[in-house]
Structure 1
């Protein structure tokens, strides 16, 4: 598996000694499939470098995490569940972003989702370490269903007046309208059901913003954060430039619960179909307040990894 190195412009961070900033504005996604080995739980093992990359940036891209057969079943469910014609761009342009979740009656077949969520859980739990996350249950398919459809926007990539990644703002899940305690979650996963090219509606993140959130919470309360994000539609601190995650079908993006993110601009011809799931530490309710200031305090496989001197190049 080859490597892809993506360089961005200068980013600004405000970090304390306990919250080390990324050393360079270079994000390298180099998940080495040859280094993956099955363990007794059917999960994978991550190298220390991959764990360091996640700690550093707050997200990690895993290509080819989900097999084609499982993805094909999801595609069938999608087009059986929505009225739009996938071959009609005009039809798709008129549609709005849609999340088919929970007990959405338009999704009549939930069975194909569970094997994928089970695989997502295996990756996430292995990355966190210590068998820490709450495992999915087949009986809770309604609660596990989260299918995000990002329909094409007006405009084309070659049009200078089309929307761009720099025009959008992000958010931190669980800290806005409808806030309740405990807010947020430990880690999330997003699976691309089809290939997502640049400016094709991919997950867009603000690398390192989980550290910015931690520093913010050292001297600010949760209520102020919620008020600011509800009113401004973005967190109350500077996090630099966004990065859009492109990837092939079956790519899995794991990302930290306090990472700022949003749905990307889609100037392509296709619907970006993504499977999304949040995962909680089994004791999340007891230590979520500590997690706000110490984002890896309860991540046994990552908490002691040193990011000082990290050079992702």
Structure 2
């Protein structure tokens, strides 16, 4: 697979996200789905979808694993070599990240966030989908699906072009230091049309670190299962001390 075409790079620049189909290794995906159940609630049966419907009881352990409501985050698994190799260290995905951020510029991954799940809501009333931006410093996010995600199935949800406003709504280029304008712009984007990035196991979504996004509400009968990682450049300690650059793509050699 070619790393990224000029057309795809231009789409990412304009829209703030990019979907790539069938990138991750199917064998590692199957292993991730199997291992996910190591951290499941005692009330959940992998063979019985009726037991997957939230909300579930709150649980948090000293390994960073969290369950509760409609969320389930299996973070402990994120340091295992094979799961890192499935997402950020996959040769194709790594080459795409380096294409955008510059060869030799990107921190070599040693873990991922973990497996993040959104449980079905069952017959609960549907709620509005609202956006946010992440507070921790990174450049390029990637979400990988380890199970099929139908429309309205809890997929990664984005507000196209929002990064072009929100990047400048911070005092720091990468720290979580929002200006007063940030809250106003988030309110504005919550009135705009979003994109539900539904897809199949093996699909990935790249996204800019200041893109407005959300985990969609899961109105399906299956669990939304995804792995997440945040690419960052090696000079992050320096650049996050700086205000947003007038050229928001200054640190992205692959984007003209």
TM surpasses 0.5: yes
Q: In the alignment, does 2:224 pair up with 1:272?
A: yes
Does the 8 Å contact 1:210/1:260 carry over to 2?
yes
Does the 8 Å contact 1:225/1:236 carry over to 2?
no
User: Gaps (5+ residues) in structure 1?
Assistant: 1-35, 38-43, 156-160, 175-182, 305-313
Does the 8 Å contact 1:217/1:293 carry over to 2?
no
User: Gaps (5+ residues) in structure 2?
Assistant: 57-69
Q: Name the counterpart of 2:64.
A: none
TM-superposed CA distance for 1:291, in Å, is: 4.0
Does the 8 Å contact 1:149/1:273 carry over to 2?
yes
Q: Name the counterpart of 1:171.
A: 132
Does the 8 Å contact 1:189/1:276 carry over to 2?
yes
Does the 8 Å contact 1:214/1:293 carry over to 2?
no
**Equivalent of 2:122 in 143, 149, 154:** 154
TM-superposed CA distance for 1:82, in Å, is: 1.3
Q: CA RMSD in A?
A: 2.7
Number of matched pairs = 231
TM-superposed CA distance for 1:290, in Å, is: 4.1
1:204–1:108 CA distance, 2 compared to 1 (3 A): closer
- Inter-partner Cα distance in structure 1 for 2:202 and 2:222: 16
Partner-residue secondary structure (3-state), 1:86:
coil
Partner-residue secondary structure (3-state), 1:274:
strand
1:217–1:224 CA distance, 2 compared to 1 (3 A): closer
- Inter-partner Cα distance in structure 2 for 1:293 and 1:193: 38
Alpha-carbon displacement from aligned partner over 1:160-200 (angstroms, at most 9, x marks no partner) = x8426xx11111101xxxxxxxx431001000001111001
Q: Name the counterpart of 2:98.
A: 125
Q: Name the counterpart of 2:60.
A: none
- Inter-partner Cα distance in structure 1 for 2:36 and 2:229: 17
Q: In the alignment, does 2:5 pair up with 1:52?
A: no
Q: Name the counterpart of 1:112.
A: 82
Partner-residue secondary structure (3-state), 2:169:
helix
Note the 1:294-313 alignment, pairs <5 A: 294-302=247-255, 304=256
Q: Normalized per residue, which structure has more strand?
A: 2
- Inter-partner Cα distance in structure 1 for 2:143 and 2:157: 11
Q: In the alignment, does 2:39 pair up with 1:81?
A: yes
- Inter-partner Cα distance in structure 2 for 1:250 and 1:223: 31
Does the 8 Å contact 2:147/2:224 carry over to 1?
yes
**Equivalent of 2:164 in 199, 211, 225:** 211
- Inter-partner Cα distance in structure 2 for 1:133 and 1:286: 14
Does the 8 Å contact 2:170/2:176 carry over to 1?
no
With normalisation by structure 2, the TM-score equals 0.80
Q: Name the counterpart of 1:67.
A: 25
